[in-house]
Chains A and B, each alone.
Chain A
Amino acid sequence: MEAYIYDTIRTVRGKGNKKGALNTITPTYLSTLCLKEIRRRNDLDPTLVDDVILGCVTQVMDQGSNIAKTAAIKSGYGDHLCGVTLNRFCGSGLESINQAAAYVKSGFSELLLAGGVESMSRVKMGSDGGALFLDPSVALPGHIVPQGISADLIASKWGYTRNDLDAFATESHRRAVVAESEGRFNSRISVVDINGVVVLERDENIRPGTSVEGLSGLQPSFQMMGEMAGFDAVAIGKYPEVEFINHVHHAGNSSAIVDGAAIALVGNKIAGEKMGIKPRAKIVSIAIYGTDPTIMLTGIGPATLKALGKVGMKPSDIDLFEINEAFAAVVLRAMEHIGIEQDIVNVNGGAIAMGHPLGATGAMLVGTVLDELERRDLSTGCITLCIGGGMGIATIIERV
């Protein structure tokens, strides 16, 4: 049995701070917006779908109490629609789609909605506490450091300079500007309020005119924490070959903090016949990979190779990659590990330009690559993200 993606929807992304365009919009509302739009676009009979899987990282406050079921109630699909919220950190949105695919391929479900949501302006990243960073019995023996330190460790270990990273960041913005101006984001929707008034119609964080010179003035974001809180030494304790941590990441070459939601409609062939629509793509392979938690963000390469290997594919079989731009060094390292060039990676820009709404991003990237494969009339795409705690996730799709 195959699992197909019938459609994907994602919201535009608003800056994830108190002045951000979507700060007044709740994450439940954003999720509901996607659910309603995917139903409208496909004239979907809501009784055909029985569950919503949503990835969401910070599951407290607005995002507590199982936001997937909460959005299901608000969506108007009917009481039969269930909801489950999952957390695989930054891989959550992709994990939802992968789990949906697994339900479908196993035959336990015919059709599901899967995606993710994060309102980082309303629910602060890290406000859910947890043992990973706070429980000394985990954090100390595990050499657990904040992600920014891991990113700077990657840059230090593999010798990526500040200039390398800023050039990468500049390119992310340049590509996003082109994509935006050419209207390449087919599956993206504006956010409208309860009165139907448009709140935001373009990704808010893209900055036309971003340049290496412009970025060069930004202060490193993680130097203080590395030095004052001892985390540089913690990282070096695990990677003694690194003499010192070169703090090269800053707000301009790391993913932006934003709000947004995304959803995909995943089902088997029969579901498509019942709905009377054609699938846009097939889910070919999925994989996760665990790494050392200190360096944390190097799981992309191994996860991608693992996903490819399961179906006997090579990196050269992939037409377009979406590698989440959590930090510039992460993508540079991942490209080296997989052995691919930047011309097929994040061709319409990435999270450095448009932002990374933690729980939603994975699902958003599925839509982004699918839109572009269709526009270029190409076949295969790989979506992959690095994940907190030391994980990587990858999904390979193929147009049908």
Chain B
Amino acid sequence: MIKNKILSYDVDNDGIALITINMEDHPTNLFSEDFMKAYFDITAKAIADDTVKGVIVASGRRMFMAGADLKMLEKPIEDPEVFFNHAMELHKRMRHIETSGKPFVAVINGHALGGGLEVCLACHGRIAVNSSRIKIGFPEIKVGLLPGGGGTAKAPYLMGLQNAMTYILQGVEARPDKAKKDGLIDVLVDTPEELIPAAKKWIAEHPSPVQPWDNPKHKIPGGGLFTPSGAQVMMGATGNVQKITHGNYPAAQYILSVIHDGIQVRIDRALEIEARYFTKAIMSKEAKNMIRTGFIAIQEARKGKAKPAGYDPYKIQSIGMIGAGMMGAGIAYVSAKAGIQVVLKDISIEGAERGKDYSRKLVQKRISRERMTQEKADELLDRIHTTIDPTAVKDVDMIIEAVFENPDLKAKVTQETEAVLGEDKIFGSNTSTIPITLLAKASKRPENFIGIHFFSPVDKMPLVEIIVGEKTNDRTISGAIDYVVKIGKIPIVVNDSRGFFTSRTFGTYCAEGGLMLEEGVPAAMIENVAKAKGMPVGPLAVTDEVSLTLGMMVYESDPSPDKDPDMTRFYELEKKLVKEYGREGKKNGKGYYDYPKGGKKRLWPELSKIFSSDVNTLDKETVGKRLLHRMALETFRCYEEGVLRTTRDGDIGSILGFGFPIYTGGALSYIDYIGAAKFVAECKDLEQCFGSRFAPSDALRRLAQSGQSIHDFKLG
């Protein structure tokens, strides 16, 4: 018996060794450097020991292994050759197990993901508990990587080209029954207790197993690459990968390349190819960005990293939800789902009930998809109490107001509510456009007043923008974050400003799209270049979604005397389309696009005549820069002005709030992604050609000169 902080090892009387992975110092088992050392030392020992007939690899934790230790992968890599050699060393150790002639069986009691699954693939047999809570797959693509522990090279032998590509490219996390059907798992058992007996049986039946990739008689399911079906699969994969990634996510191509280049040669050479591409992927800016922002920063934000220090958790057992419109109904649902009692108030009981109907519909959907039991659904609905009585919220822990965007109405609601609300309770306003400091003027307790800006649809959008008014205190900020964390969403904290961070920055995207259209860039080009750069929706389509009339309203409601001339130009454009042509947006079926009933939306053909569109107006690189550089500049301005308190919030807010592409790391990391010096030089060019909105600020120029990452740069 051997036991250390990573694993334990014991050989039974029947000569079967059991390795139980239990990484005591970690929240779960992770594929880390410590793990590799301990694991391969012990497997080598088992192989060398003639009395050992077979080896079972098990987990002592709820998960088998959750994947790689991303903090290990985040470390900068200086020398690709050194990294490549490390990767090859890993392959060598795994191949030692595979070619030992001794049966190794992985028994999978919980998630086996990424490196965890690769540990299993380097065993000869894989037995899993057939539980719907267990996920098996390769999530590496989500952080810009590919399976680098042999998974990419080996999976096609087990699953065929098509399935291997689907699993790895999409980061499929399959239940054990599906994973068995697709070839990743050999045996299913019903309970964890059956794992070891089943493994012993498997070992008895396979005394000297050979891996499929070492067996010359093994046929790749569905055929190899140079077969009619294989070629079709590979071609279709290249088309769809390009369609989805637009070349912005290099790991996707690397995955296809490892399979393409590797499947034609023996496994040991294929692993070299995998190691080469893994090295290339891990050194890519895209992977670094996706690990830093997409994984680590978002995970930390989800846990409430933004909380000011020194405050106890704010008690949130109940909230008062004022306004049961679309936003209020959504907020009521996500709160009730998190176990919070919700008093849902509207001006009519019908209105409040309609708001609750939203939750009724959503739970029905979840029940029909077997995601929720009737019992849980009933409990959730029981937590939502509809009312028209303003005093019904007197005992709640927090208020969220989501009435119509009218300062007078909001002021009335604030006063009416504060009259009955506990004096130490937080009052949150879900405004998306009106400054919090302005709304807080109606409050007797502005220090308790805060913006809690949800995105629509509330149940799907993960981000919540917390807006700090002039007088909002840290206790209130801390409490608001506690609430957001409790409902499982991701908070960013911003200081008050018109449009806050997300709406303000996103507005520049819509405006820049409109301005280019006005200048004669074909509408399709604007939309398609935006998508090719990684934006989920083009600026014109998204303006249609929110409607051109709303854009006009936001502009008109801004009382500032000296408005940005370019925003005025955009306003005039919207006004022209609305007033002269009746193009209000998707809501009336006529915006930049036509919305034929039952058909796909198509750009309104008249646009090209009205604006004399010409394909040679601008090249596509410039179109792309005008969209993304513009948003990055505005984000940097928000950071400089103190609207954003941290670079991370700028990154997270841009990615989750308006779909800024994650390969860039977010709208501030984007400056690093382009290179600050290059970014500034390009902005100067854009300023020359298109106006002062592209002018880089002094702070930005200093950043460029400093050679620092934006995350290390000190503004003041």
Contacts and interface: CB of A to CB of B under 8 A. Distances in A.
Given A136-B238, A230-B239, A240 B260 contact: no
A228 B253 CA distance: 19
B239 A237 contact: no
A237 B246 contact: yes
25 contacts: A126-B231, A133-B235, A133-B238, A135-B260, A136-B253, A136-B257, A137-B253, A139-B242, A140-B247, A140-B253, A140-B256, A145-B239, A229-B236, A230-B239, A230-B244, A231-B239, A231-B243, A237-B243, A237-B247, A237-B528, A237-B532, A240-B527, A240-B529, A241-B524, A243-B528
B680 interface: no
A229 B522 contact: no
B528 A236 contact: yes
Given A241-B524, A241-B525, A143 B253 contact: no
Given A126-B231, A136-B253, A137-B253, A243 B239 contact: no
A240 B524 contact: yes
A112 B260 CA distance: 41
A231 B234 CA distance: 13
Contacts of A126: 231
Interface of chain B, helix or strand or loop or mixed? helix
Interface residues of A, number: 31
B615 A241 contact: yes
B581 interface: no
Contacts of A124: 228
A204 B257 CA distance: 43
Nearest to A232: B243
B189 interface: no
A134 B260 contact: yes
B66 interface: no
Interface string B521-561: 01111011100100000000000000000000000000000
Contacts of B523: 243
B240 interface: yes
B241 interface: yes
B240 A230 contact: yes
Nearest to A239: B528
A259 B253 CA distance: 37
A134 B261 CA distance: 10
B226 interface: yes
A262 interface: no
Contacts of A225: 239
Contacts of A240: 524-525, 527-529, 532, 620, 623
B155 to A, nearest CB: 16
Given A126-B231, A134-B225, A241-B525, A140 B603 contact: no
A233 interface: yes
A242 B525 CA distance: 7
A182 to B, nearest CB: 42
A243 B242 contact: no
Interface size class of B (residues with CB under 8 A): 35 or more
Contacts of B615: 241
Contacts of B527: 240, 243
A144 B247 CA distance: 12
Contacts of B247: 140-141, 237
B424 to A, nearest CB: 55
A129 interface: yes
A133 B236 CA distance: 10
Nearest to A60: B226
Interface string A116-158: 0000000010110100011111011101111000000000000
Contacts of B522: 241
A241 B620 CA distance: 9
Interface in B236-271: 236-244, 246-247, 253, 256-257, 260-261
Interface of B: 225-226, 228, 231, 234-244, 246-247, 253, 256-257, 260-261, 522-525, 527-529, 532, 602-603, 615, 620, 623
B526 to A, nearest CB: 8
B459 to A, nearest CB: 29
Contacts of B260: 134-136
A357 B623 CA distance: 43
Contacts of A137: 253, 257
A234 interface: yes
B243 A234 contact: yes
Given A136-B260, A141-B253, A243-B603, 16 more contacts: A129-B226, A133-B231, A134-B231, A136-B237, A139-B235, A229-B240, A230-B240, A230-B241, A231-B239, A233-B242, A237-B242, A240-B623, A241-B528, A241-B615, A243-B523, A244-B602
Residue from A133, A135, A229, A240 with most neighbouring chain B CB atoms (10 Å):
A240
A185 B615 CA distance: 44
Contacts of A139: 235, 238, 242
Contacts of A243: 523-524, 527-528, 602-603
Nearest to B593: A243
Nearest to B236: A229
Instruction: State the 7 A-B residue pairs at the shortest beta-carbon distance, nearest first.
Output: A230-B243, A240-B528, A136-B256, A243-B524, A233-B243, A230-B239, A230-B240
A143 B236 contact: no
A400 B435 CA distance: 86
A136 B231 contact: no
A62 B532 CA distance: 43
B602 A230 contact: no
A233 B532 CA distance: 9
Given A241-B522, A243-B602, A228 B236 contact: yes
A32 to B, nearest CB: 29
A347 B257 CA distance: 47
A307 to B, nearest CB: 27
Interface in A79-134: 124, 126-127, 129, 133-134
A143 B528 CA distance: 15
A298 B240 CA distance: 25
A236 B239 CA distance: 12
B467 to A, nearest CB: 36
Interface in A216-272: 225, 228-234, 236-237, 240-244
Contacts of B528: 236-237, 240-243
Contacts of A145: 239
Given A129-B226, A237-B532, A140 B231 contact: no
A127 B235 CA distance: 13
A70 to B, nearest CB: 23
B524 A242 contact: yes
Contacts of A228: 236
A302 to B, nearest CB: 18
Given A129-B231, A243-B524, A243-B603, A140 B236 contact: no
Contact of B238 (A140, A242, A244): A140
B238 A144 contact: yes
A135 B235 CA distance: 9
Contacts of A133: 231, 234-235, 238
A18 to B, nearest CB: 15
A232 B236 CA distance: 12
Given A140-B253, A237-B528, A240-B525, A134 B243 contact: no
Contacts of B242: 139-140, 143, 230, 233-234, 237
A157 to B, nearest CB: 9
A389 to B, nearest CB: 15
A146 B236 CA distance: 10
B308 to A, nearest CB: 45
A234 B183 CA distance: 31
A275 B384 CA distance: 101
Contacts of B532: 237, 240
B395 to A, nearest CB: 54
Nearest to A243: B524
Contacts of B246: 237
Nearest to B241: A140
A146 B620 CA distance: 23
A141 B252 CA distance: 12
A223 to B, nearest CB: 13
Contacts of B235: 133-134, 139, 146, 229
